């Protein structure tokens, strides 16, 4: 995570959270006005939104409820406006990755036909949402509506208590959802777990300065876990598309091969992310929050 998104030990939690929150909103606003590749911009905007909502969850317990609800709802709704474009784009990228890995098992003509269909649909959706629907203008309105209230946020605590309860809650929910997904490893349950992993990943990035060497290792491992879960989810989306739209691959035999390759790839990913998940979530939530609080206290003593 970039240095400007780290909470500094020489600033109060309130000042740091405001600084980072405004930076993330400014990032999103800049991307909305940029002239770069459309899909890259959408990806970056959504990433800024996810970081912003992770920041909100970090200070949820000490932030005025109206401020939390307004900001969380506004940015959530802004993200939902452009999420169909991400899902549409990721189908293309996932198919291309699958072809690169298993090109010996699938005729190129089949791959090209499916990819062209997905690209045509993505372009059509982009036109409907961006050119015809002017969705980015709506997203910009949501972003601008959050900037002024953010400058007036007040946190209830001036020390690590500003973060400890939020951390504990996100870690606890992630741990719970991991156990639920272990019993029911449906794409929906795994995706719910992944969202909490991603939130904790961003939060540990914000708090890197507590103990950079230790926090960076944990942050990197969480990043690896959420990447593995994300690839699994993208493959599940592609598989679901074949089930829901027979026109994508009308040949039953070739569709069966595709589904088999997708499942094989998902199994390989799951063999990697389950052990990593249990390593990262082995602590009780209260102990996890206490450990990071101890990092903060030790860092403060060092500075004093």
The HSE-up count of residue 259 (CA atoms within 13 Å, CB side) is 16
Q: What is the pLDDT of residue 72?
A: 97
Q: How far apart are CA 78 and CA 80, in angstroms?
A: 5
Instruction: Report yes or no: 78 and 98 within 8 Å, Cβ to Cβ.
Output: no
Q: What is the pLDDT of residue 104?
A: 84
* Per-residue pLDDT tens digits for 177-228: 999 999 999 999 999 999 999 999 999 999 999 999 999 999 999 999 999 9
CB under 8 Å to 122, separation ≥6 — which residues?
85, 88, 89, 91, 92
For the chain, which domains are there? 3-303 (1.40.20.10)
Give which of 202, 238, 287 is closest to 7, Cα–Cα. Answer: 202
CA dihedral 159, 160, 166, 169 (to 10 degrees): -140
Tokens of 35: 């002239």
How does the average pLDDT of the chain come out, rounded? 95
* Per-residue pLDDT tens digits for 115-161: 999 999 999 999 999 877 689 999 999 999 999 999 999 999 999 99
Handedness of CA 8, 14, 17, 23 (dihedral sign): negative
* Per-residue pLDDT tens digits for 63-120: 999 999 999 999 999 999 999 999 999 999 999 999 999 888 878 888 999 999 999 9
* pLDDT higher than 90, residue 232: yes
């Amino acid at each position: 995570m970039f240095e400007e998104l780290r909470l500094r030990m020489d600033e109060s939690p309130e000042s740091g959270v405001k600084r980072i929150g405004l930076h993330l909103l400014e990032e999103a606003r800049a991307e909305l006005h940029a002239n770069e590749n459309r899909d890259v911009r959408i990806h970056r905007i959504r990433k800024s939104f996810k970081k912003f909502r992770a920041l909100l969850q970090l200070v949820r317990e000490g932030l005025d409820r109206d401020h939390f609800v307004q900001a969380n709802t506004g940015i959530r709704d802004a993200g939902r406006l452009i999420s169909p474009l991400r899902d549409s784009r990721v189908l293309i990228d996932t198919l291309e990755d699958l072809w690169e890995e298993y090109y010996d098992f699938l005729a190129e003509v089949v791959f090209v036909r499916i990819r062209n269909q997905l690209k045509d649909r993505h372009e059509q959706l982009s036109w409907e949402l961006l050119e015809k629907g002017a969705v980015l203008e709506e997203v910009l309105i949501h972003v601008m509506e959050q900037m002024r209230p953010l400058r007036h946020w007040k946190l209830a605590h001036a020390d690590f208590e500003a973060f400890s309860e939020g951390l504990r809650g996100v870690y606890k929910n992630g741990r719970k959802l991991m156990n639920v997904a272990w019993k029911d490893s449906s794409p929906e349950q795994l995706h719910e777990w992944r969202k909490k992993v991603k939130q904790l990943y961003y939060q540990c990035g914000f708090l890197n300065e507590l103990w950079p060497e230790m926090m960076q290792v944990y942050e990197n491992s969480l990043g690896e876990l959420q990447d593995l879960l994300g690839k699994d989810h993208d493959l599940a989306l592609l598989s679901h598309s074949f089930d829901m739209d027979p026109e994508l691959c009308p040949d039953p035999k070739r569709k069966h091969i595709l589904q088999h390759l997708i499942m094989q790839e998902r199994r390989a990913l799951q063999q990697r992310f389950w052990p990593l998940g249990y390593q990262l979530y082995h602590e009780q939530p209260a102990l996890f929050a206490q450990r990071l609080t101890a990092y903060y206290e030790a860092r403060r003593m060092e500075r004093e």
